A and B are shown apart, each in its own frame.
Chain A
Amino acid sequence: MKLPAALSPRRILFGSHRPTARVALVSLGLTCLCLIWIYPFLWMISTSLKSTGEIFAGTGLVPQEIVWENYSRAWVEANMGRYFFNTLFVTLGSVVIVTFCTATMGYVLGRYRFPGRNILFLGFVATVFMPQGFTIIPIFELLSALGLSSNLIGLTIATSGHAMVIFVLLFAGYFSQLPDELEEAARVEGVSFFRIFWYVMLPLARPIVVTVVIMQVLHAWNDFLLPLVITLANPAIRTLSVGIYAFKGEQFIDWSGMAAAATISIIPIVVLFILLQRYFVNGLAGAVKG
């Protein structure tokens, strides 16, 4: 059987270019690398669908009999449903807080000279690369003192706080490059300071908003040390990461349940990534170029 030219494997692999030996070789090498790269994910999904007996029998990747029950067990017994909601709450909440606080701050720092500006800038630059372990104890103490150490609000605010510096610098850099004319024109029309920011400047900063939102989503969904410390006292507010970690301690034998829980916790972020791939890549690239 002959495939139509457009569907031939050669076309799909190399497009309309002539497949040189080099491109073919490189593609082959990369395919091998990628298979190794995603093997842990394939293994995880396959394990999440196997029965415990089959895992230890050591058969291949394809489960002989699909056991959906692993998922319900992870969702109900390991509280993944609850942790899922917590993570979503913290992620969305912190994205809103972080974007608002860093955009306003970056706007003022980037476009205006006022007393105290240089000190603020210096302070931020000096703290950009402070490791989390350095500040975790005071943050924990502060939240306890404010009575926020055992609820989701406290966790959300803290998650917003400790990654904001680089975002402020990104916004400041971007806003400082925008032309003054836009702002002046709006001011002549009698538009107020805050409205200029909201209706004129912020929409122009969309690329940075995208970068910040994506980096904060990644950060919040991945965060571990902070939620671990804050949820020590109150397991009900655990996030997915911490919940899975605790699951490991409690039921180490339950490989399939664990794999199901792990699969549940990566689905949203992976789907989000695949849908918004272009923005993810451009956003992260913006962080290096900015």
Chain B
Amino acid sequence: MRRRTFIHRYRHQYLMLLPGLVLGGMFVFYPIVAAVFFAMQDWSGFNADKVFVGFANFTRLMSDPFFWAAFSRSLVFLLGTVPIQMILGLVLAVILNDRLLKLSNLFRTFIFLPVVTPVAVIGIVWTFMLSPFNGPINGFLLDIGLIARPVDFLGSSDTVMPSVIGVYVWKWLGITVIYWLAALQTVPSDVYEAARLDNCKGARLIWYVILPIVAPFAVMILLISAVAALNVFPLIMSMTNGGPFFASEVMEIFVYRKAFATGDGSIPELGYAAAAGVFFGLVVLALTLLQAVIARRTRRGQTA
């Protein structure tokens, strides 16, 4: 009886929650629980014969050199992209925030253009840009005499990661600039005025005056950028498929290859792929929590 009145009392609220709950239940909560369940099965995905194997998939992961290679490559990618994006983004935002700069809007538009372009398109256009067969980048480098013969940027395991990192920064720098601009808008103009009177400018202005004020936003931006960088699948997929010889295979490509692609002729292993996904997800979750703790510390430090 109590239960009925309780549901009755909040019936409007629950009814209104329903559409969101259904959608979230299907595509947010269920997949996370199910992924953990799949990760404990030996299952090809083709048929119904799942075999419960407990943590066997995880122990196998720990001794799979391809998994660790992909895992560390994801971290390399993270460390290669996020700092450049953060620093370059901030410098550009500080410059573009200047009211004296009349063409600021036009510059913003140009820098933002790659952001609104679908990733798959960017991957393909850059495949051609970087092509050793008449690609414009090679053409330019040959013309100015920096290289003697065309470089196969995406086809050689030495150059593929730096190339992908460069294209990624090009694609997403615009959004980091917008985030930084939003943060800069919270800096009161008399702060700039005071800094000008003290003849504080350039890197010192950014480091000593602006950064302390925008620190809480910086943590948020760092978090968004870091998680975005771990989700680099589409760009790498459309540029290299993880190749050559797995040289650009990051975590998500590994998961995809194990679960769906049978390029190497082996059968799909959904259970094993799910285990890799779960392990990776846990690491990301840990990173997120770590950053949340740091964020809280920073904020507390500021109010103190």
Binding site for B on A (CB under 8 A): 12-15, 17, 20, 23, 26-27, 30, 33-34, 37-41, 43-44, 47, 55-56, 58, 97, 100-102, 104-105, 107-109, 112, 114-115, 120, 123-124, 126-139, 141-142, 157-158, 160-162, 164-165, 168, 193-194, 197, 218, 221-222, 224-225, 228-229, 232, 240-242, 244-245, 248, 255, 258-259, 262, 265-266, 269-270, 272-274, 277, 280-281, 284-286, 288-289
A137 near B38 with CB under 8 A, answer yes
Q: Which of A131, A141, A158, A262 contacts B231 (CB 8 A)?
A: A131
Contacts of A281 in B (CB 8 A): 108, 112, 178, 181
B36's closest neighbor in chain A, by CB?
A138
Distance, CA A255 to CA B100, complexed state (A): 43
A224 near B102 with CB under 8 A, answer no
A130 near B284 with CB under 8 A, answer yes
Distance, CA A157 to CA B107, complexed state (A): 36
CB distance from B278 to the nearest CB of A (A): 7
Q: A132-B231, A165-B24 are in contact. Are A108 and B178 (CB under 8 A)?
A: no
B31 near A142 with CB under 8 A, answer yes
Q: A130-B32, A164-B24 are in contact. Are A284 and B178 (CB under 8 A)?
A: yes
Given contacts A30-B95, A104-B17, 4 further A-B contacts (CB under 8 A): A108-B17, A137-B277, A224-B238, A265-B121
B134 near A58 with CB under 8 A, answer yes
B195: interface (CB < 8 Å): no
CB distance from A222 to the nearest CB of B (A): 5
Distance, CA A266 to CA B121, complexed state (A): 8
B52: interface (CB < 8 Å): no
B178's closest neighbor in chain A, by CB?
A284
Contacts of B233 in A (CB 8 A): 132-133, 224-225
A133 near B251 with CB under 8 A, answer yes
B221 near A288 with CB under 8 A, answer yes
B119 near A133 with CB under 8 A, answer no
Could you list some 18 contacts between A and B, CB below 8 A?
A: A12-B102, A40-B126, A43-B125, A101-B19, A124-B24, A157-B23, A162-B31, A164-B24, A222-B119, A244-B118, A255-B128, A258-B128, A265-B118, A266-B118, A266-B121, A273-B112, A285-B178, A285-B182
Interface residue range, chain B: 35 or more
B129: interface (CB < 8 Å): yes
B116 near A161 with CB under 8 A, answer no
A133 near B280 with CB under 8 A, answer yes
B206: interface (CB < 8 Å): no
Contacts of A34 in B (CB 8 A): 106-107, 110-111
Q: Which of B6-14, B61-69, B79-87, B155-163 contacts A (4 or more CB under 8 A)?
A: B6-14
Contacts of A157 in B (CB 8 A): 23, 26-27
CB distance from A94 to the nearest CB of B (A): 10
CB distance from A148 to the nearest CB of B (A): 10
B118 near A240 with CB under 8 A, answer yes
Contacts of B35 in A (CB 8 A): 134-135, 137-138
Contacts of A241 in B (CB 8 A): 118-121, 234
B274: interface (CB < 8 Å): yes
A146's closest neighbor in chain B, by CB?
B26
A284's closest neighbor in chain B, by CB?
B178
Q: Which of A127, A244, A270, A273 contacts B120 (CB 8 A)?
A: A244
B96's closest neighbor in chain A, by CB?
A30
Q: Which of B21, B98, B113, B139 contacts A38 (CB 8 A)?
A: B113
